[in-house]
A and B are shown apart, each in its own frame.
Chain A
């Protein structure tokens, strides 16, 4: 568990129940990111253990999305290191020097990391089934019938078994987002990233998406979720991190960070969203 503190724990891997040493699912060490003169991330360090759910909260522009996008190398980190399941993201370390990774290897790394976007980003020219089978067939060489079989199972899991042959635009926002989750799960990722998955939804559709995410967390998926849904964060998260101005201001158990914030900035933010 990473609920205690970010500082002083940059060292080795955690010890699981059996005593074997397994790496954290996500480990960020002093991650910096800038766009030109604008420093967006100013030294983020945190860990997410296996099967844990980390919720990132914070005001607009605080760098939540940017950090999420760094985790699967959609953005290049300018300083610091990021590991997913013990593997350095975006670079290779050889002889003490960092080598930029070949795009093919970066693509391979991303297959272990599912991502769900605020705007769903389903492929509008493909049916729901093709949206889900697309990546397995193209990237892992899965056979189409098997991929479709698995896609149907995933659709069943998100409660959309009857929508396999629909096109995305024929679905409601909530249904589209559930398809997007199924699509991200099709590659059997170790880690799921969610960037405000319910922010574009009508209020009455938020619940159905959060239910799917809750099931996923219960099934043991490691998740990093950027969200403004404090109820969800309180209930599902193992850790909540409050970000502001490119740094993690406060991190800990949801009951502490949301229920009893220590920093003024956290209190000010929470008073606006709660």
Chain B
């Protein structure tokens, strides 16, 4: 404590100045940034001018179709496809991840095989195969194997192309979700599992109450990306063939009107609007699961 007082050479704070001297330096100049900004603004302005005046964009058609009933209906269908197939993907994905990490070797094997098949083949091919489901399995017989049949369902009646599309998208996505969930689970500190075990929690109780909630923080950001990716992947359901989604519907309309470009822009606008909303939702979810883990970084 004395060292400060003894040192007479150290500049004493100016009495009555009300605190330290503010540093008043001349800011560093950034000529590079300014040049880049100017170049970019000119380029964007030129592009916008070109787009506005280029008849190929047919902005009158864009305006006409952006809120067209058929388009907004198709947008709703796309949203339904996304939400339903993601719900299926998350449920099956969590199940597969948990099975993959379970002490039961049979469950681990099943999970591994699932991932191998669904990640190893293109989603487009999978969707085509789901479209052929009713051809492959003409009827579903409910009963005892090699015994009596209780009732029989005709596949084509029982399941619509919409649900085939949901199943096709969902089961494919589940393989990716399983890996995301697994990465989240194994990121949880082993001491947590040990503490839970020592408290007499069973393997499943530990998973459900200790591991999975903490894994959520790791799981949510990539899951947000998967939802956004799914929204766009729904444009492949034409492979089933399901034709009521946003992209297929816009293509169908443009086939009648011979105006593909404005309709593609219409579809893109809707996709963009949805992804923007999803990004906001993701922000709040991440905040929720960062509870008690502030230092770990809730923002990003």
Interfacial residues, chain A to chain B (CB-CB below 8 A)? 72, 74, 103-104, 107-111, 113-115, 117, 119, 121-127, 134-135, 138-139, 167-169, 183-184, 187
- B199 & A139 in contact (Cβ 8 Å cutoff): yes
Total interface residues on B, CB under 8 Å, equals: 23
B136 close to chain A: CB less than 8 A: no
Task: Choose one: A123, A135, A168; the contact of B200 (CB below 8 Å).
Answer: A135
Contacts of A184 in B (CB 8 A): 198-199
Pairwise interchain contact B293-A125, C-beta atoms closer than 8 A: yes
Structural contact, A74 and B197, CB atoms closer than 8 A: yes
Q: Are B294 and A123 in contact (CB under 8 A)?
A: no
* CB <8 Å contact, B197 and A110: yes
The proximity string for B residues 202-213 relative to A, scoring 1 for CB distances below 8 Å and 0 otherwise, is 110100011001
B292 touches A135 (CB 8 A): no
Other-chain contact of A104, B194, B202, B291 (Cβ < 8 Å)? B202
B192 at the interface (CB under 8 A from A): yes
Residue pair B195, A124 in contact (C-beta under 8 Å): no
Q: Given the complex, which residues of A lie within 8 Å of B198, measured CB to CB?
A: 72, 74, 110, 113-115, 184
Which secondary structure dominates chain A's binding surface? mixed
Residues of A within 8 A of B201 (CB): 107, 134-135, 138-139
Residue in B closest to A139 when the chains form the complex, CB atoms: B200
Contact of A187 with B199 at beta-carbon distance under 8 Å, contacts A74-B194, A117-B194 already known: yes
Q: List 9 A-B residue pairs with CB atoms under 8 Å apart, sorted by A's residue number.
A: A113-B198, A121-B191, A124-B214, A134-B201, A134-B209, A139-B205, A167-B292, A169-B292, A184-B198
Whether, in the assembled complex, B295 has its beta carbon less than 8 Å from a beta carbon of chain A, the answer is yes
- A-chain residues with CB within 8 Å of residue B205 when the two chains form the complex: 138-139
- Within the complex, the shortest CB–CB distance from B107 to chain A, in Å, comes to 15
List residues 246-300 of chain B with CB under 8 A from any CB of chain A.
Answer: 291-295
Judge whether A167 and B291 touch: CB under 8 Å.
Answer: yes
> Are A111 and B197 in contact (CB-based, < 8 A)?
no
Residues of B within 8 A of A103 (CB): 202-203
**What residues of B have a CB within 8 angstroms of the CB of A115 in the complex?**
195, 198
**Measured between alpha carbons, how far is A134 from B209 in the docked complex, in Å?**
9
